[in-house]
Amino acid sequence: MKARTLGDELTVSALGLGCMGMSSAYGPAADADEMVKLIRTAHDQGVTLFDTAEAYGPFVNETLLGDALAPIRDKVVIATKFGFDIDLETGERRGGTNSRPEHIKAVVDASLKRLRTERIDLLYQHRVDPDVPIEDVAGAVQQLIAQGKVAHFGLSEAGVHTIRRAHAVQKVTAVQSEYSLFWREPERELLPVLEELTIGFMPFSPLGAGFLTGKIDENTRFDPSDFRNTVPRFTPEARRANAALVTAIKRIAARKGATPAQIALAWLLAQKPWIVPIPGTTKQHRLEENLGAIELELTPGDLVEIDAEVSTLEVHGDRLPASAMKMVGH
């Protein structure tokens, strides 16, 4: 397994494993025992970075990951997140964000128990809290780092000004946001700032929430509990309009003897050496397919061709519901 460095000191596998979909968001939770096997198989195949959050479930995903990684804890990097207003006793979502320093510290203590560990390797603020100065958030995490409960600080879906302000208080090791051939907005402002500050980037939804695999079309029906039912980009009309993007990726994949998913992931890996995508899956064969992207070499000519094919296509539909977009990029 090839390795990459987030920030200037956190070394991880070139691809991580996003674990959210094992417990929430994409329909009913998968079988826990099967997911434990999948997580351990991922590690056997070289994956060392595993991404979760208290909000996934809530709490269920952290517990799953803690159980799966307990025998190999010191061989992996665990990333989790705080930042939503969730009752730590009941798991009730009270709506909105909560990054008050005392809440952050309570969340971390609860996460450590669920993850069955004494430290969180990478702790993200899940969403920026408009009611709490980011300097206070960074200061709280700095205290947790000094106590040994946290090793590295990260931000998720933060804007560049927030990143700079946080980084001035406590070094930000990684930023997480959506980035793929389906959503290239980070190229405008975010990536240049991350490069300037030596901050790593972990793109979530690197396969466009499954769309870039080529397995979803306008006739696909999602489970009623699947979040994609609420996403403008996944209406049948938007899927029909966006099919041209997948068709272009499929043409390139056929020429390279690869799958569309592998092209999409290899493209991300080729953008910067400090980018570590975190595709999620609940299926063994998809895990193996995704990991195959690491050895797929895209030449400069391939990258020019992909850009020429994709950059002329307009993506239809917002990437998140309007309510979720309000929490992005502060």
Domains recognised in the chain with CATH numbers: 3-325 (3.20.20.100)
Q: Are 157 and 327 in contact (CB under 8 A)?
A: yes
Q: Are 101 and 140 in contact (CB under 8 A)?
A: yes
For residues 22 and 29, give the distance between their C-alpha atoms in angstroms, rounded to a whole number: 6
Per-residue pLDDT of the chain (330 residues; tens, 9 = 90+): 999 999 999 999 999 999 999 999 999 999 999 999 999 999 999 999 999 999 999 999 999 999 999 999 999 999 999 999 999 999 999 989 999 999 999 999 999 999 999 999 999 999 999 999 999 999 999 999 999 999 999 999 999 999 999 999 999 999 999 999 999 999 999 999 999 999 999 999 999 999 999 999 999 999 999 999 999 999 999 999 999 999 999 999 999 999 999 999 999 999 999 999 999 999 999 999 999 999 999 999 999 999 999 989 999 999 999 888 888 876
Handedness of CA 40, 57, 24, 175 (dihedral sign): negative
The rounded Cα 287 to chain-centroid distance in angstroms is 15
- CA-nearest of 270, 315, 281 to 213 is 281
The rounded Cα 241 to chain-centroid distance in angstroms is 26
**Residue 151 identity (one-letter amino acid):** A
Q: Where are the beta strands (DSSP E) in the chain?
A: 3-6, 10-13, 17-18, 49-51, 77-82, 84-86, 93-97, 120-125, 150-156, 172-178, 200-204
Q: Residue 95 to residues 35, 84, 253: CA-CA distances in angstroms?
A: 28, 7, 42
The whole-model pTM stands at: 0.97
**Residue 150 identity (one-letter amino acid):** V
Pairing of strands 93-97, 120-125: unpaired
Residue 93: enclosing H or E segment and its boundaries?
strand 93-97
pLDDT tens column, 295-319? 999 999 999 999 999 989 999 999 9
- CA-nearest of 248, 303, 231, 308 to 271 is 303
The total of other beta-carbon atoms located within 10 Å of residue 126's CB is 22
3-state secondary structure of 151: strand
As annotated, the active-site residues are 56
